[in-house]
Structure 1
């Protein structure tokens, strides 16, 4: 069996490793001229780390990453903290793996190295996909340079603006959400001492929120701040921003938020896209994975994790199948994943209001709001089903 993967992001590379581990030949076609991740930090919850362990990259990634002591809320203007939940040992005891904060390029490079260790020439760079075709026995990827690559199946792991998805279901791109996220990486040594704690902080306020947590052996502080009521006209996913505009967006927010903005060596502005989950991923020998299948707002910290889960479940469904069985195997993969990922997408959308509620305007109303929405019981209901899932063993 020979599987073609369009897209060499985190989901595509995770799928490639899982397939190669099962003796399935894979080729990955990536549009970029070099393999790199644009972005900053991501959070990998226990359900993601369980898969990364099976892929053989968890221990290396853990050594490069951070394991914060806890997650907490901070009120946007006063900075008053409320514990969200403890991490560290308690998470490992409950779910079997830690909750890591990860520098995105570290994860991407670790997966790429693992792919190449299993098949040295599996990743093809500068290979932009422009279309795809299929017949009863094969799927074909069409590249911008005119090449036509044929395999037994094709998986579109080519992101929010997926060429493969739009070939199957035209005009399914996500729309701008009205929100922009500012992202920056700040050297830990440049921050004041009181801001270097190994904690994941979510600053919540009316109409916006900010997140910061340590990365890359606590050498870097990740900063991501989302604000409503913005416009987006850029064709790309992100563009260069300015300190002045970011400070204006977060005028009146706590001094620590202002400090991170001012100390950021570079601020990128990302337009957040959203779309209701599509009801179908698969047509015969072509299917989807990751953002191509289930683009999500980043408010459950599960986008990358669910792409990693997709890769493992896909490989398990294809393992042992004959080429003639591929359409049925891909449908089994879709059925195993689509309900969970759709619930994740809708949960992330629901969290927009939870992070941006008008009730967060004052400390008194915020305290009542957090007790109602973010005490132990609602947190468990919202997150336990995510973290307790294991893509390595879930029934398919």
Structure 2
């Protein structure tokens, strides 16, 4: 069923908001995206687009464009922190050859989605800060400049501190996980390969992978600590703090850390999956509905999945928006919750201390030798899921 009769407002021009705009505009809706920044852009961060996210980009005919400007992941390698000795190599080419994993600069994905949205006819309005959202009887978005807008449907793709989420759910306090993370991008002077390399230390780990044409390396450094840190990864920090925190890391890890000139630090908080993803003609999407920790690399991928499923649900029941939104939540909430839980449980595996550290690493090595296919496929329920073909 066509969506030509629908005027839709999307709050937020991130991955989820722009992907939803492309999906819905192509289905015939008239879509406006509200973005509080003065430009649609993301800087200074890499991300992994896994096969479940690539399935959506393929369905939107955007996968090839992304692949041209990204690094295809060939392996995931777990290493010890002190000397960089290899513990486990998960060979994606050999054991997941039919799947495609990419290392992507976030700015490149945002540009691809923004260009596709504008080409489809989406109107992107910048410098539009949302103060609050009213859900009934017809959605109204109140802007900081005093203006109001709305439409037949309002979609909150406005991230962790979503105003749309506030309108649908009680405001709860997130739980500080006692972990902080630094992000940085450094030059790839050492010819870092197209692999995700994880350097595992007591209470901390460092993830590194190349970006774009291989000339850059993205770093994510996670440390357990009691001290609280601000939530949100745009807060600058002194690189010397990062190097001091990871001073025990040697080999390639230490060299990469020595190259950091700018970095951001943020606290990792656990937020509950929203109880209510919709009310009336207001819906949530991406981090606004299900914020996730970064340990399964699924934030952007889940947002892409949401965008596709929301479009399908609306197309199936375009004459009954509340019913369509209920269908959307039913298809997405269980999977999103399961992935959020998996991400929350995953970090400790990289942070083992003595006496568990050595035997755990030996078990990983043995598993890699005896059952490499099983080791690679342990998260197939995430990565092989294709929302463009499946229900959900």
| TM-score above 0.5, yes or no | yes
Note if contact 2:169-2:274 (Cα within 8 Å) is conserved in structure 1.
no
Shift of 1:269: 1.2
What is the root-mean-square deviation of aligned Cα atoms in Å? Answer: 2.2
1:319 paired to 2:315: yes
Aligned counterparts of 1:130 and 1:173: Cα–Cα separation in 2: 20
Aligned length: 386
- Residues 144-168 of structure 1: CA deviation (Å, up to 9, x unaligned): 1111112111111100111110122
Q: Deviations over 1:48-104 (max 9, x none)?
A: 1110011121111100000122111011113111334222475342x4xx1111011
TM-score for the superposition, normalised by structure 2: 0.92
What SS class does the counterpart of residue 296 from structure 2 fall into? coil
SS in structure 1 at match of 2:294 = coil
Q: 2:240, 2:315 → 1: CA distance? A: 53
Q: 1:335-346 residue pairs with structure 2 within 5 A? A: 335-346=330-341
SS in 2 for 1:260: helix
The answer to whether structure 1 residue 353 and structure 2 residue 358 are counterparts is: no
- TM-aligned CA deviation for residue 182 of structure 1: 1.1
Pairwise CA distance, 1:327: 0.3
Alpha-carbon distance change, 237 to 100 in structure 1, aligned in 2, over 3 angstroms: closer
User: What does residue 157 of structure 1 align with?
Assistant: 157
Query: Equivalents in 1 of 2:234, 2:356: separation in Å?
Result: 29
* Paired residue secondary structure (1:358): coil
The yes-or-no answer on 1:383 pairing with 2:388 is no
Q: Tell me, what secondary structure is at the counterpart of 1:294?
A: coil
Q: 1:13 aligns with which of 14, 18, 29?
A: 18
Counterpart contact for 1:185–1:222, Cα < 8 Å: yes
The Cα shift of 1:255 comes to: 2.8
Q: Distance in 1 between matches of 2:139 and 2:391?
A: 27
Matched, 1:42 2:40: no
Where in structure 2 are there 5+ consecutive unaligned residues?
1-5
Aligned-residue offset at 1:287: 1.4
Q: Is the 8 A contact 1:161 1:173 kept in 2?
A: no
Q: 1:161 to 1:180 in 2, by over 3 A?
A: same
State the alpha-carbon separation in 1 of the partners of residues 95 and 306 from structure 2.
26
Report matched runs for 1:190-269 at 5 Å.
Answer: 191-193=189-191, 196-234=192-230, 237-269=233-265
Per-residue deviation at 1:173? 5.4
Q: TM-score, normalised by structure 1?
A: 0.91
In 2: Cα distance, 1:170 partner to 1:365 partner: 41
Residue 205 of structure 1 contacts residue 360 of structure 1 at CA under 8 Å; is this kept in 2?
Answer: no
1:86 to 78, 85, 91: 91
Query: For residues 7-44 of structure 1, what are the alpha-carbon distances to aligned partners after superposition, in whole Å with 9 as ceiling and x for unaligned?
Result: 11001101111111111221111111111114411001
> Shift of the alpha carbon at 1:280?
2.5
**1:285: Cα distance to partner?**
1.3
- In the aligned structure 1, how far is the partner of 2:281 from the partner of 2:375? 39
Match of 1:143 in 2: 143
The alpha carbon displacement at 1:197 in A equals 2.0
Q: Is the 8 A contact 2:96 2:376 kept in 1?
A: no
Shift of the 70–282 alpha-carbon distance from structure 1 to 2, 3 Å rule, reads: same
How far off is 1:234 after superposition?
3.7
In structure 2, distance between residues paired with 1:59 and 1:377: 27
Aligned with 2:329 (options 325, 328, 334): 334
Moved more, 282-291 or 330-339: 282-291
CA distance in 1, matches of 2:121, 2:146: 25
Asked if 1:22 corresponds to 2:17, the answer is no
